[in-house]
């Protein structure tokens, strides 16, 4: 005997009686067996995505949350060829299983129409995902290659960023339930770099940790993965970000490859970080390819680079980075401690030399130079993310909410323009237009990248990278995706939207939309 616990029991019984009256005993037995076996976590709930019934398509546009088992049972009945051939009272069943009954014939006649707003109602245990908020955001200064931060491994830089973010959040470290940290050049760092960074920051041994490698987008992807965990309710407080010490990336040699006369060493910065493995070319050559396709000149790229340096200098002079940067203390045996408080790279430029520099990747008719490309750097960044419910529980005031995010991918050689494919996805998911965005961050892997994406997306240059970017501040590749999100959070005013996007090797890009609270 079956015991029904949902309010739709009469609908199911009506359907069952109809089946019995048509001598479909076997079908009924199969369905009752299905009903008794189902529960909210069953994979059978995926039936809702398989329906191809055009006339009822609107009824099955379900939420991703689990459906009531009776809906699954009804779905199984409805898609059966035998049952579809019956003249069953589908209208009555549809409405009752959706949780309402029409009050008039007018409603009955329009039940499948788009104008009926209540057709969007979902019978789910939880109708929405958790809202995710950023409660703190911090980063280290960005050190030049073999510069002030070069004595610290990426994992130590990560620890300092995590510590800074948690201190800014004002919560006990024990509240952090999980951590995701981006890191690209992992050779020689030891096992599980994210775990090293988390334990180095003093978080509990019970904290699960994941290291993310999506090349330049690693730091942003770490925030996206953390957000998904929070949205789905797997955790309620998570730390995420990215870290890199390009100064400490080692040289390597193939095992057993020691021919007479010497050995060949490979630089892991180039091999694992800056080479398109599909076309066997440097990322700078990919930038040259894009410049040629989109007719972007050397002069345009140089002018953009000079502007980036100028904006970064003005921002530092005005204290616009002060809120996001946590000082790093460098200790050396027998020497006084050195405290690094600001980025190094933006002051290392001679504007008079910019137009005179030789191109690096394409000797003839090339456009990319050391001045209009980003540099090799060290640094780390981290954010503390929570569900809005957790923020209330901990009495923490959020800085911003994660409004939407997306990834995109194109031909690997075209990676510089991949953000132009990720950004529209984010805007569509959020239901916004370009005009709704106050601030854009497009990572400056090369000046060419920003110029190309501004051109393709038709962005207002006055809203893009308003305080400079990776060309002038530096580009620690595992950190940069998190850095641009952090900078938006600290720069936006309440109510404003900011959209950050970053390309990555292999033809990918990630993009994230935040709203300042």
**Secondary structure tally for the chain: helices H, strands E:** 17, 16
For position 332, what pLDDT does the model report? 85
For residue 122, pLDDT beyond 70: no
Q: What percent of the chain has pLDDT over 90?
A: 72
For position 508, what pLDDT does the model report? 99
Written as six digits, the tokens of 146 are: 């073999």
For position 410, what pLDDT does the model report? 98
DSSP state at residue 260 = T
Determine the Cα–Cα distance for residues 481 and 442; give it in Å rounded to an integer: 10
For residue 31, pLDDT beyond 50: no
Out of 53-62, 86-95, 232-241, 279-288, which region has the weakest mean confidence (pLDDT)? 53-62
For residue 510, pLDDT beyond 80: yes
Q: Per DSSP, which regions of 333-427 are E strands?
A: 335-340, 377-387, 400-409
Distance of CA 154 to the CA centre of its chain: 21
Q: What angle do CA 162, 164, 165 make, to 5 degrees?
A: 65
Place of tokens 């970000």: 241
3-class SS of residue 113: coil
Residue, of 285 and 2, whose pLDDT is higher: 285
Out of 40-44, 223-227, 399-403, 497-501, which region has the weakest mean confidence (pLDDT)? 40-44
Where along the chain do its domains lie? Answer: 9-120
For residue 87, pLDDT beyond 60: no
Which residue blocks in 172-217 are alpha helix, DSSP H?
A: 193-200
Phi/psi at 497 (nearest 5 deg)? -105, 140
Determine the Cα–Cα distance for residues 33 and 27; give it in Å rounded to an integer: 10
Residue, of 6 and 193, whose pLDDT is higher: 193
For position 127, what pLDDT does the model report? 62
Determine the Cα–Cα distance for residues 37 and 89; give it in Å rounded to an integer: 26
Residue, of 20 and 324, whose pLDDT is higher: 324
CB 400 within 8 A of CB 171: no
For residue 98, pLDDT beyond 80: no
Classify residue 468 as left (phi > 0), alpha (psi -120 to 50) or beta: left
For residue 89, pLDDT beyond 50: no
Of 68, 73, 209, 503, the active-site residue reads: 503
Determine the Cα–Cα distance for residues 498 and 241; give it in Å rounded to an integer: 18
For position 28, what pLDDT does the model report? 39
For residue 17, pLDDT beyond 50: no
**Residue 278: partners with Cβ closer than 8 Å, 6 or more residues away:** 412, 413, 506
Place of tokens 């960074």: 197
Q: Which sign does the torsion angle of CA 362, 365, 366, 369 carry?
A: positive
Of 209, 216, 232, 286, the active-site residue reads: 216
User: What would you report as the CA-atom Rg of the chain, rounded to the nearest whole angstrom?
Assistant: 28
**Could you tell me which of 98, 153, 147, 96 has the C-alpha nearest to residue 122?**
98
For position 270, what pLDDT does the model report? 98
503 included as an active-site residue = yes
- How confident is the model over 340-370, as pLDDT tens digits? 999 999 999 999 999 999 999 999 999 999 9
Q: What angle do CA 396, 397, 398 make, to 5 degrees?
A: 110
15 included as an active-site residue = no
Q: Which sign does the torsion angle of CA 189, 193, 198, 204 carry?
A: negative
Phi/psi at 333 (nearest 5 deg)? -60, 125
Distance of CA 59 to the CA centre of its chain: 31
Determine the Cα–Cα distance for residues 487 and 498; give it in Å rounded to an integer: 10
Phi/psi at 456 (nearest 5 deg)? -70, -35
- How confident is the model over 292-317, as pLDDT tens digits? 999 999 999 999 999 999 999 999 99
- How confident is the model over 208-225, as pLDDT tens digits? 999 999 999 999 999 999
| Bridge partner list, 241 | 181, 382
CB 486 within 8 A of CB 492: no
For residue 116, pLDDT beyond 70: no
CB 183 within 8 A of CB 218: yes
Q: Is 254 exposed, middle or buried (0-12, 13-18, 19+ CB in 10 A)?
A: exposed
| pLDDT grade for 264, boundaries at 50, 70 and 90 | confident
Q: What is the largest CA-CA distance in the chain?
A: 93
Written as six digits, the tokens of 443 are: 């990572």
- How confident is the model over 246-263, as pLDDT tens digits? 999 999 998 877 777 788
3-class SS of residue 310: helix
In the chain, the N- to C-terminal Cα span, in Å, equals 54
Q: What angle do CA 280, 286, 292 make, to 5 degrees?
A: 135
For position 14, what pLDDT does the model report? 54
For residue 103, pLDDT beyond 50: no
For position 1, what pLDDT does the model report? 39
For residue 100, pLDDT beyond 60: no
**Residue 272: partners with Cβ closer than 8 Å, 6 or more residues away:** 184, 185, 187, 249
Angle between helices 447-457 and 419-430 (to 10 degrees): 50
For residue 46, pLDDT beyond 70: no
For residue 373, pLDDT beyond 50: yes
For position 131, what pLDDT does the model report? 98
For position 263, what pLDDT does the model report? 83
Give the pLDDT mean for 53-64.
Answer: 38
Determine the Cα–Cα distance for residues 202 and 179; give it in Å rounded to an integer: 13
For position 262, what pLDDT does the model report? 80
Phi/psi at 234 (nearest 5 deg)? -70, -35
Distance of CA 74 to the CA centre of its chain: 37
Give the pLDDT mean for 8-24.
Answer: 48
- How confident is the model over 435-490, as pLDDT tens digits? 999 999 999 999 999 999 999 999 999 999 999 999 999 999 999 999 999 999 99
Determine the Cα–Cα distance for residues 324 and 313; give it in Å rounded to an integer: 16
Determine the Cα–Cα distance for residues 26 and 19; give it in Å rounded to an integer: 10
Give the pLDDT mean for 411-434.
Answer: 98
- What is the residue-averaged pLDDT of the chain? 84
For position 256, what pLDDT does the model report? 79
Place of tokens 């040259």: 288
């Amino acid at each position: 005997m079956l015991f029904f616990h949902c309010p739709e029991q009469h609908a199911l019984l009506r359907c069952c009686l109809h089946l019995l009256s048509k001598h479909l005993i076997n079908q009924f037995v199969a369905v009752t067996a299905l009903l008794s076996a189902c529960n909210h976590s069953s994979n059978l709930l995926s039936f809702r995505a398989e329906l191809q019934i055009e006339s009822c398509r609107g009824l099955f546009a379900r939420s991703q949350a689990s459906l009531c088992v009776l809906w699954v049972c009804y779905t199984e009945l409805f898609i059966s060829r035998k049952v579809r051939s019956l003249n069953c009272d589908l209208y009555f069943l549809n409405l009752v299983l959706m949780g309402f009954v029409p009050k008039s014939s007018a409603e009955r006649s329009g039940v499948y129409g788009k104008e009926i707003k209540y057709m969007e109602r979902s019978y789910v245990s939880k109708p929405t995902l958790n809202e995710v908020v950023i409660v703190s955001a911090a980063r280290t200064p960005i050190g030049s290659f073999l510069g002030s931060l070069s004595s610290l491994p990426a994992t130590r830089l990560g620890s300092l960023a995590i510590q800074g973010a948690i201190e800014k959040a004002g919560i006990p470290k024990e509240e952090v339930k999980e951590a995701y940290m981006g890191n690209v050049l992992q050779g020689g760092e030891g096992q599980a770099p994210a775990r090293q960074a988390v334990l180095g920051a003093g978080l509990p041994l019970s904290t699960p940790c994941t290291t993310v490698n999506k090349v330049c987008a690693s730091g942003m992807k770490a925030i996206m993965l953390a957000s998904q965990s929070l949205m789905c309710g797997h955790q309620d407080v998570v730390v995420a970000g990215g870290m890199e010490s390009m100064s400490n990336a080692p040289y390597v040699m193939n095992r057993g490859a020691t021919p007479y006369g010497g050995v060949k060493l490979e630089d892991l910065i180039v091999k694992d970080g800056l080479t398109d493995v599909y076309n066997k070319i440097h990322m700078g050559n990919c930038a040259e390819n894009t410049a040629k396709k989109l007719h972007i000149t050397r002069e345009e790229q140089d002018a953009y680079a000079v502007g980036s340096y100028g904006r970064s200098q003005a921002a530092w002079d005005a204290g616009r980075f002060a809120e996001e940067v946590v000082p790093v203390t460098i200790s050396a045996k027998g020497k006084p401690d050195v405290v690094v408080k600001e980025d190094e790279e933006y002051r290392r430029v001679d504007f008079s030399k910019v137009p005179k520099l030789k191109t690096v990747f394409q000797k003839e008719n090339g456009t990319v130079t050391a001045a209009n490309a980003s540099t090799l750097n060290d640094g780390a960044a981290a954010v503390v993310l929570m569900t809005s419910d957790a923020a209330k529980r901990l009495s923490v005031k959020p800085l911003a909410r994660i409004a939407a995010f997306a990834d995109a991918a194109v031909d690997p050689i075209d990676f510089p323009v991949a953000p132009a494919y990720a950004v529209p996805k984010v805007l569509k998911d959020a239901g916004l237009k370009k005009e709704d965005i106050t601030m854009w961050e497009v990572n400056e892997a090369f000046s060419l990248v920003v110029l190309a994406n501004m051109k393709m997306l038709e962005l207002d240059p006055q809203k893009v990278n308003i305080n400079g970017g990776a060309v002038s501040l530096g580009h620690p590749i595992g950190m940069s995706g998190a850095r641009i999100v952090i900078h938006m959070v600290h720069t936006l005013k309440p109510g404003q939207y900011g959209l950050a996007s970053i390309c990555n090797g292999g033809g990918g890009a990630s993009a994230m939309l935040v709203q300042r609270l």
